[in-house]
Chains A and B, each alone.
Chain A
């Protein structure tokens, strides 16, 4: 009887520990303090991607060409663009990007300046098992639509446990 209780207690505490670990994972890929303008401006056409998903040089180049942003005009006034650029640069994959940032940098050569998160070696490796046709499903539309499958994407959680691929 006592043994059974001890086993039950052990199972419960392990479950609680796993839950805490999971909680800690949540939002890990977002800086502790974010920027209101980054959130408002970037998320008006797509998710506000966490700065840890690209190197600093990529963010600088991207922010320098907003008037031709992947074929669309996403121009901002100079002050807003400068504020967002500093936020992205300070928390970029190779600056203050934490564990995800370090992983993101693997495979990006020093002369490389990737502009699409979806074309980085890390992204490709992590999504290798996803058939390209899946990304074209109506509910997903594009591999850039993180939140279609990663429910916690907007708060910086890309944990595999939370992935639900819509039909």
Chain B
């Protein structure tokens, strides 16, 4: 028993951080969306695009995702305050994007709060991801 556990731990340690495909991460959000709303059908890249550019006034300064990430997810952006370069969001332009579920969740957690003043729903996250994945 102890030995099995040891082998399992070794295997877990040997696995890369949390490599996943964007589709796998999207599927997890689909499951979550279905749980929240049994009538859920699918995500919409179209709605994701509208969400990406929509100005939100929640925190006193009108901002959208595109404020820092620019209107083109294939382009690099710039942090509005620190001036730090932001690498492109679209996986077609930056293969690192949407490949680590924990990282995706961390940034939704931070940025939804900063831009919308609340957490994003699974539907919104999935629409947003679908849009980024559709950008070629």
Please tell me if A75 contacts chain B, counting CB pairs below 8 Å. Answer: yes
Other-chain residue from A46, A71, A75, A141 in contact with B110 (beta carbon distance below 8 A):
A75
Question: Secondary structure of the A side of the interface?
Answer: loop
Residues 99-150 of A contacting B (Cβ, < 8 Å): 140-142, 144-145, 148
B84:A148 contact, CB within 8 angstroms: no
Residues 21-52 of A contacting B (Cβ, < 8 Å): 45-47
Binds A, one of B1-9, B36-44, B75-83: B75-83
Please tell me if A3 contacts chain B, counting CB pairs below 8 Å. Answer: no
Please tell me if A72 contacts chain B, counting CB pairs below 8 Å. Answer: yes
| B contact residues, range | 10 to 19
Report A-chain residues with C-beta under 8 Å of the C-beta of B113. Answer: 73
Report A-chain residues with C-beta under 8 Å of the C-beta of B79. Answer: 45-46
A106 → B minimal CB distance (Å): 26
B114:A46 contact, CB within 8 angstroms: no
B81:A75 contact, CB within 8 angstroms: no
- Closest chain A residue, CB of each to CB of B82: A46
Please tell me if B57 contacts chain A, counting CB pairs below 8 Å. Answer: no
Report B-chain residues with C-beta under 8 Å of the C-beta of A71. Answer: 81
B1 → A minimal CB distance (Å): 27
- On whether A141 and B82 interact (CB within 8 A), knowing A72-B114, A73-B114, the answer reads yes
- Closest chain A residue, CB of each to CB of B60: A71
Please tell me if A63 contacts chain B, counting CB pairs below 8 Å. Answer: no
A46:B84 contact, CB within 8 angstroms: yes
**Residues of B near any A CB (own CB < 8 A):** 78-79, 81-84, 106, 109-111, 113-114
Knowing that A71-B81, A142-B83 are A-B contacts, what are 10 other residue pairs whose CB atoms are under 8 Å apart, sorted by A's residue number?
Answer: A45-B84, A46-B79, A47-B84, A70-B81, A73-B111, A73-B113, A140-B83, A141-B82, A145-B82, A145-B84
